Structure formats: structure tokens, C-alpha cells
């Protein structure tokens, strides 16, 4: 074996190795590692390795009218990384170029280069492995280069010259090129290892931040929880500033720019509002794209990701840097992962909130069971009827049992409108027996709506509110009207009473009382609970709507979408 030829080929192969090292640092190569290459990227890959194969010819050593070269490295690596088609295209480029270079081995070397790329791709394909290690690359180099030597002997003429050439270049090319392919795969393994270490570091940091913020975000997305989360993010990351918003306003801004990025301000026009509307992660690469109207603002780039809760965009998380073009793909992946965990915490908070709302509704029903006024009034009414109308007394006992049973067992379920109205009528029978002609009930319900499913204990609290606060305080009594009409794919339900109405100042705060978890809240629990359950299940567009005219009555409107949507608290 010609040792000097081995040394020369190794020196020239080193040039190819440097080019290959640079390639491993490109975005195209990283997408290759993730197994997510598009057709265009595969064409770019074939082009790159085809040119690498051609460069192997130019870096070759002329010997006896032929060229000892490293052409196989480009074609073989293309096949091992990209599969048969990429290997074939890269090998074909290198082979056609070699053919036009000329020489008595022109056709044989052109053919062998094409087949080497295809063979390496088939090895990758049949082994069905995502990663190719250096031992396989080394073995592939030996096999394909041995195949090239065989093709030269079989095709090139004169035969004596072909045999003499192979005896000189055979082992040097087999050894050097196999080692070159193995070195390239070692580079790949190094990049993979580095990516995995970075990914593990990112994951640990995201999980650490998520663990620290979890107790606060489980309270829901509000100013207090957002402030605590932003402080933890700023302490754990090398960023200029962080902001968290809900769907309408900035909840908190910490870091640089806090003198004019003030909490409570409306979302500015730009990336933040676009993220809220479209639900996509957006990156601002320059100060102009950040969109701050303050000329002295130091924030020059940002990444904005949406915060979700049950398929709804409820806010956004923003990380800022004070230099342009300083948001890296690593930053984007990092903040996207963090936002996903934040969204999970917020969704758990919403589920807990919905469960508590259902529990409150259930407890509200149980209150009727133990409320002395309601229970004693109902029992006294039944006792009085025992002397005058035994059949009515029996009927009222059944209604009272039905009412209490429904409250006890249906507090967190969905029922049909027909079932809900049975519960309402049980309650009204007891109240009507006590109030007599002072209480008149009207029902105007489309029959086709009776099978519509809605949260249990949604209508009964509204009717109870109308009777207790609208009709009974009125010496002359009045009428409660329950209506249910179809409007497209919605059921529109209203409860109207002819009482004294609600004072305007009271109406403004009736449904906006702050939720005080774990504390007893005074007044309005029926309406507030119903409203919050509707918003929690269907979204803010399905909140209660109240119309009132002091002195002439009140109407409470609610809308139930008829799209089969059921969200049952657990």
C-alpha cells in the first residue's frame, strides 16, 4: 500500500471534513436531525452533498490517467442521512461531473459514484434507523469503495491498466474514505449530544419555573398571580423584561421599560394584540416591530406566545431583550414550552374553579334543605293542608321531596330543559301553596327545546330570585314568566318578574362581585353563581344579561348553545 498516497488523500479529505463540520452547524442540518425535512430541504441537501462529491474529485490525486479521490464521502453521507433519493441525486451529480472530467475510468467512476450514493441510501432505508452511528458509516464506506474498485475492474478498459490502478489506489481510498465518513458521523453525534444537553437544560429550567409559579397560577390569571410568575421568570432567565397580559390589558411588566409599560393599560396595537387574536407565537426582531410608542424604550426585540385555557386565548406571555435580532430559536422554544405549562396550570385552575362553582350550586340547593325559613314555611303550609286538603298535603310532600332530592344529587350535572323545569315547578308548587293567588306563574317554552341539555340548577336560582326578591315583597304579589325560544343554534331563556325592579347602582355591581375563594360572600350568590358557571362552561359571550325598570319588574336573560357542548365539573 502506498503510504504517501494515504497521507495525501488524508490531507485533502481534511478539507472536506472542515466543510462538513460547518454544515453541521446550519439550520438545515438541525431540521434533518429532527426528521422534519421538506421536499425543498431534501433537494438542498442533495445539492450540497453533490457539490461536496464534486469537490472530492477536484481534491483528488492524479494517478496513471485516473484520480484517487474522496468523491464517495459526499454521495455516501447524502444517502446515509437523506435516504435513497437524496443519495442517488448527490451521487448522480458527482458521477456526471466525473464522467466529463475524462480518462479511461471516466464512465466506470461516474457509474460507481452514482451507485455508491444509492447503495448508502438503501442501507439507511432497510435498517430503518433514525440515527446512523460512525461504525455503520465506516462499514458503508468500506462496502461502497470496494464496490467502486470492482466496477473499475469490470468496466474500465484496458483491463490491465484498470487492475494496475486498483492495486495502487484500492486500499488507500477504501481506508481514507471510510475513515472520512466515520469522522462525519462523529460530528453528527457530537451535534446531537450538544442538542440533547441544551434540550435537557431548557427542560429543567422550564420545569423549575413552572414548579415555582404553579401555586400562584392555580389561582387563575389575575394581577397577583401574573406578578408572582413574572418575578420568578425574571429571576431565572437572562432577559431584559417580561410582561403577562390577559385578553384585554397588561397585568404586569417587570424589568426594563417598566416606567412606561404600565400594568392596567390596554393592549397596544402590534404583536401582542395579533397574538391574542390569532393564537400564534410571534417574534419582533427590531425596535419598530416591538411597537412601543416611547422613543427612549430600551426594549428592541421580543417573543410573544399565547396563553390558553380550554381552547380559548386568555392572555399572552412576552419576553423582551434590549438588543435587536437577539431572540434565538432556543429562546422561542423555551418560552413556548413555558407557555404550554402555564396554560396547563391555568386550565387546572379553571377546572378547580368550575368544580367549586358546581359545589356552590350544590350547597346552595342544600341550603334550601336546611334553611329554617324555607323548610319551616313549607312544612307549616303542608301541616295546614293536612287539616283542610289531605290530597294537596300529600302532593306538596312529594314536591318537597323531589325538590330536595334534585338539589342534593344534580348539583354538578347536565340535565335536559324538561328536567330542569320539573325542579323549578317543584319549587314553585311549594311557594305557590304558601303565597296563594299573590304568585302567578306563566311558562312559554318551545316544545322542541325540552330535550336541550344545560347545566343543572341554572334556571331554578333565577326563578327563586324573582319570587323571593321580586314578587313576595310586593303586597299585591305579581307574575313570574319563564320563556324559552329557539334562535338559530341557541336556546334563549328568560325569567321575568313584575316586582319592584333592581336599583341602578345595585345592578352595576350585581354580576361583577369579586370571587373570594374560601370566604363567605354576602348577597347575590344565586345570580353570581349562575353567571360564573355559564361563563366558565361556554365562554364570556354567554354571561347573564339583566334588564330592569325600577317599579315595573326585572328580566334575566341567558343563552345556551345547542351544539352538543357539555362540560361536566368533576
Per-residue pLDDT tens digits for 59-101:
889 998 888 899 999 999 999 888 899 999 999 999 999 999 9
Residue 133 has which C-alpha cell?
452511528
Is pLDDT at 50 greater than 50 in this prediction?
yes
C-alpha gyration radius of the chain = 38
Q: Which domains does the chain have, with CATH numbers?
A: 3-196 (1.10.1760.20), 219-344 (3.30.450.40), 371-561 (3.30.565.10)
Over residues 522-540, the pLDDT tens digits come to 344 578 878 888 887 888 8
Q: In the 8-state DSSP scheme, what is residue 249?
A: B
Return d(Cα 40, Cα 370) in angstroms, integer: 72
Over residues 143-165, the pLDDT tens digits come to 999 999 999 999 999 999 999 99
Return d(Cα 249, Cα 271) in angstroms, integer: 14
Burial code of 322-341, b = ≥16 C-beta within 10 A, e = fewer?
A: beeeebeeebbbbbebbbeb
Q: Of the candidates 465, 479, 471, which has an alpha carbon nearest to the alpha carbon of residue 531?
A: 465
Q: Of the candidates 478, 462, 475, which has an alpha carbon nearest to the alpha carbon of residue 529?
A: 462
Whether this model's pTM surpasses 0.85: no
Is pLDDT at 515 greater than 70 in this prediction?
no
- Within 8 A by CB and 6+ apart from 178, the residues are 137, 138, 139, 140, 141, 142, 145
Mean pLDDT, rounded, for 228-242: 88
Is pLDDT at 343 greater than 70 in this prediction?
yes
Q: What is the pLDDT of residue 313?
A: 86
Q: What is the pLDDT of residue 114?
A: 95
Amino acid at each position: 500500500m502506498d503510504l504517501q498516497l494515504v497521507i495525501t488523500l488524508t490531507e485533502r479529505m481534511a478539507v472536506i471534513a472542515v466543510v462538513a463540520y460547518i454544515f453541521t452547524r446550519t439550520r438545515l442540518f438541525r431540521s434533518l436531525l429532527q426528521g422534519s425535512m421538506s421536499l425543498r430541504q431534501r433537494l438542498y441537501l442533495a445539492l450540497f452533498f453533490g457539490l461536496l462529491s464534486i469537490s472530492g474529485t477536484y481534491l483528488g490525486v492524479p494517478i496513471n490517467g485516473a484520480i484517487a479521490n474522496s468523491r464517495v464521502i459526499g454521495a455516501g453521507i447524502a444517502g446515509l442521512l437523506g435516504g435513497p433519493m437524496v443519495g442517488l441525486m448527490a451521487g448522480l451529480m458527482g458521477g456526471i461531473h466525473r464522467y466529463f472530467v475524462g480518462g479511461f475510468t471516466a464512465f466506470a467512476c461516474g457509474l460507481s459514484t452514482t451507485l455508491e450514493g444509492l447503495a448508502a441510501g438503501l442501507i439507511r432505508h432497510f435498517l430503518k434507523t433514525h440515527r446512523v452511528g460512525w461504525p455503520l458509516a465506516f462499514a458503508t464506506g468500506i462496502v461502497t469503495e470496494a464496490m467502486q474498485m470492482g466496477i473499475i475492474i469490470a468496466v474500465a478498459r484496458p483491463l490491465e491498466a484498470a487492475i494496475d490502478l486498483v492495486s495502487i489506489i484500492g486500499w488507500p481510498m477504501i481506508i481514507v474514505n471510510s475513515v472520512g465518513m466515520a469522522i462525519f458521523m462523529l460530528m453528527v453525534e457530537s451535534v446531537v449530544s450538544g442538542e440533547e444537553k441544551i434540550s435537557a437544560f431548557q427542560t429543567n429550567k422550564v420545569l423549575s419555573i413552572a414548579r415555582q409559579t404553579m401555586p400562584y397560577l392555580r389561582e387563575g390569571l389575575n394581577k397577583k398571580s401574573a406578578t408572582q410568575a413574572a418575578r420568578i421568570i425574571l429571576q431565572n432567565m437572562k432577559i431584559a423584561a417580561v410582561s403577562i397580559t390577559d385578553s384585554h390589558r397588561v397585568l404586569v411588566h417587570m424589568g426594563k421599560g417598566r416606567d412606561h409599560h404600565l400594568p392596567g393599560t390596554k393592549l397596544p396595537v402590534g404583536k401582542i394584540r395579533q397574538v391574542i387574536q390569532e393564537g400564534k407565537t410571534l417574534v419582533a426582531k427590531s425596535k419598530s416591530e416591538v411597537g412601543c410608542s416611547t422613543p427612549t424604550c430600551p426594549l428592541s426585540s421580543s417573543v410573544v406566545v399565547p396563553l390558553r385555557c380550554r381552547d380559548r386565548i386568555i392572555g399572552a406571555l412576552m419576553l423582551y431583550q434590549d438588543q435587536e435580532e437577539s431572540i434565538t430559536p432556543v429562546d422561542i422554544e423555551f418560552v413556548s414550552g413555558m407557555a404550554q405549562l402555564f396554560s396547563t396550570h391555568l386550565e387546572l385552575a379553571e377546572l378547580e374553579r368550575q368544580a367549586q362553582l358546581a359545589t356552590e350550586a350544590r350547597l346552595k340547593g342544600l341550603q334550601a334543605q336546611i334553611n329554617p325559613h324555607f323548610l319551616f314555611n313549607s312544612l307549616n303550609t303542608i301541616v295546614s293542608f293536612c287539616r283542610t286538603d289531605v290530597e294537596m298535603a300529600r302532593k306538596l310532600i312529594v314536591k318537597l321531596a323531589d325538590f330536595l332530592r334534585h338539589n342534593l344529587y344534580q348539583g354538578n350535572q347536565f340535565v335536559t330543559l324538561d328536567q330542569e323545569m320539573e325542579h323549578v315547578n317543584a319549587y314553585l308548587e311549594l311557594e305557590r301553596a304558601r303565597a296563594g293567588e299573590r304568585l302567578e306563574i306563566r311558562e312559554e317554552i318551545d316544545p322542541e327545546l325540552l330535550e336541550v341539555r344545560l347545566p343543572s340548577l341554572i334556571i331554578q336560582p333565577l326563578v327563586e330570585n324573582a319570587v323571593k326578591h321580586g314578587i313576595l315583597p310586593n303586597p299585591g304579589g305579581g307574575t313570574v314568566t319563564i320563556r324559552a325560544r329557539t334562535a338559530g343554534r341557541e336556546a334563549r331563556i328568560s325569567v321575568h318578574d313584575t316586582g319592584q325592579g333592581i336599583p341602578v347602582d345595585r345592578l352595576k355591581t350585581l354580576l361583577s362581585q369579586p370571587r373570594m375563594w374560601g370566604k363567605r360572600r354576602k348577597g347575590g350568590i344565586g345570580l353570581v353563581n349562575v353567571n360564573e358557571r355559564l361563563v366558565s362552561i361556554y365562554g364570556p359571550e354567554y354571561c347573564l344579561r339583566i334588564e330592569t325598570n325600577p317599579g315595573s319588574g326585572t328580566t334575566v336573560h341567558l343563552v345556551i348553545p345547542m351544539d352538543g357542548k357539555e362540560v361536566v365539573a368533576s
